Amino acid sequence: MDRALSRLALIFDRMTNQFAPVRSSGPSLDPSASGLPGTATLQSLVNGLAWWALLAALVGLVVGAGMWALGAHSNNYQHTSSGRRAVLVSGAAALLIGAAPTILDFLFNAGKSFH
């Protein structure tokens, strides 16, 4: 029985190695901050855009919370629902803005692992 299993494992190993992907010596990707001129300016621009996006998320959060409170106080379901949605969307936007570099880094490293 053990001999049959080892033979079957050997056949399976040969079959899977036969269809293994072949690595090509094609182009590679290695991002570098010093690759192009103006990287510091571009980084500063991205940081400024992130600041404005966080500021917009803060305004949306404050306005949404106010609308939610006024809608709940006046028993207006539409304003309560819209305010709650604004608070949740603004919070999710702030979360994504803060996590964007980590998410992109994770996805880039996951993409590099494909062969």
Q: What residue numbers bound the domain in which 92 lies?
A: 53-115
Any domain includes 38: no
Per-residue pLDDT tens digits for 21-69 = 555 566 777 777 787 888 889 999 999 999 999 999 999 999 999 999 9
As for how many domains the chain has, the answer is 1
The answer to whether position 44 is within a domain reads no
Residue 113 counted as domain residue: yes
Q: Are 50 and 42 in contact (CB under 8 A)?
A: no
Q: Is residue 8 part of a domain?
A: no
pTM of the model: 0.68
pLDDT digits (tens, 9 = 90+) for 59-111: 999 999 999 999 999 999 999 999 999 999 999 999 999 999 999 999 998 88
Q: Long-range contact list for 25-30, CB < 8 A, 24+ apart?
A: 29/112
Per-residue pLDDT, 61: 97
The answer to whether residue 112 sits within a structural domain is yes
